[in-house]
Structure 1
Amino acid sequence: MRPIRAARLGTATALVALLACAPVASAATDTDSAPAKGGDRVITLIGHLVQQTRFPVNSDGSPAQGDRTVFRSLLFDKDDRNQVGETDGTCTTTTVENGGAEECVVTYNLPGGQLSVQGMVFGILTNGRPTLPPPSFDNGITGGTGEFDQARGQVHADTIGTGKRRFTIDLDR
């Protein structure tokens, strides 16, 4: 596979906004985390997409099963002022029918450790083109390192601007 060409940058940019700010988490400072139901810990972060490359299956760039996107986003505190980490990941298109879907595997690099997140993003395509704004999604936390060792829970993401998402990380205790 080869990286997308300039003629497909518009599609790639839209897809980047969809995926690059995929499941993202950030520094867990006291001001960014709060207790939740049953002793859970909630961390709110703002993700800014900074790099994304799309590897299409079809040479004409039309969406296909197996398309892959690799991305990197910077993570900021809930007030979007201080950088607290970054997220890196890949998403693979699993279907282009009925709005399309992708499976994403993402690592959130935060102070104190990393979070591993995985899950599906549905509704990525509208009439064969990337959905704008990208859809919200929920992905599962599958583990972590350091202070996030054996972490479980979920990450909810909402698009709040071009290439910008709010991530709400709900860590189960």
Structure 2
Amino acid sequence: MMRPIRAACLGTATALVTLLACAPVSGAATDTVSPHAGGKARTLTFLAELQQLTRFPVTPGTVSQGDRVVVRSVLKDQDGDVVGETNGTCTTTRGGDPAVVEEAEQCITTYTLPAGQLTVQGMYYDYIAQGPFDNAITGGTGAYDKARGSVHSDTIATTPTLVRRFTIHLV
């Protein structure tokens, strides 16, 4: 049985959008400072809408250590325009009956944006609840070369598709 992803990790968030008639969201993509801020802290916010998710289970029908998930989401700005995407993979590190044990996944995600790419890595817990998560920015390219900081993800909607808000804190 396929389960919806909670991450997009990472990143994906994931994330992640304004197409949801029942849940309008404002402020979907903002950048408090330009990408060329010269090392100054800044925050980027995007909504990410899940586009593809494929789960590769070790044992079909269960959540097991070693399961893999491959995910892709589109990133949208406050006007609902597509401005990038996330692509990531997650590996289950703690599986089992979700009624008994909280699932854990290690995720690696790339955020592709007009000014460059950000790479993000971290853990995602409690797959079933679609809870929030925080991951570390491990680097980047272009305007995000040598980027550091974190990404916070909140679930905005789960139907008709998974939508997450990614708040990227660059330091």
Paired letter, 1:165: R
User: How much identity, in percent, do the aligned residues show?
Assistant: 50
Within 5 Å, which residues of 2 pair with 1:71-90?
71-77=71-77, 79=78, 81-90=80-89
Q: Are residues 166 and 149 of structure 1, via their aligned partners in 2, closer, same or farther at CA, if it must alter by over 3 Å?
A: same
User: Which of residues 103, 107, 112 in structure 1 aligns to 2:110?
Assistant: 107
Q: Give the CA deviation at 1:65.
A: 0.2
Give the unaligned 5+ runs of structure 2.
16-28, 34-38
The equivalent residue for 1:155 is: 151
Q: Distance in 2 between matches of 1:121 and 1:68?
A: 13
Q: Deviation string for 1:91-111 (max 9, x for gaps)?
A: 000002631100000000000
- Aligned partner letter, 1:41: R
Deviation of 1:25 after TM superposition, in Å, equals 7.4
Name the SS for the 2:64 alignment partner.
Answer: coil
Structure 1 residues 25 and 101, CA gap change in structure 2 (3 angstroms): closer
State the TM-score, normalized to the length of structure 2.
0.79
Q: What letter matches 1:32 in structure 2?
A: T
> 138, 141, 145: which is aligned to 1:145?
141
1:20–1:51 Cα contact (<8 Å) kept: no
Matched residue of 1:147: which SS?
A: helix
Distance 1:117 1:139, change over 3 A: same
Cα distance in structure 1, aligned partners of 2:41 and 2:82: 24
Aligned residue for 1:41? 42
Give the aligned length. Answer: 145
**RMSD after superposition:** 2.0
How far is the alpha carbon of 1:80 from its aligned partner? Answer: 5.3
2:66 matches 1:70: no
Q: Show structure 1 runs of 4+ deviating over 2 A.
A: 19-22
Q: Distance in 1 between matches of 2:50 and 2:9?
A: 6
Which of the two has greater helix per residue? 1
Superposed CA deviations along residues 120-150 of structure 1, whole A, max 9, x for unmatched, are: 01222xxxxxx13x01000000000000000
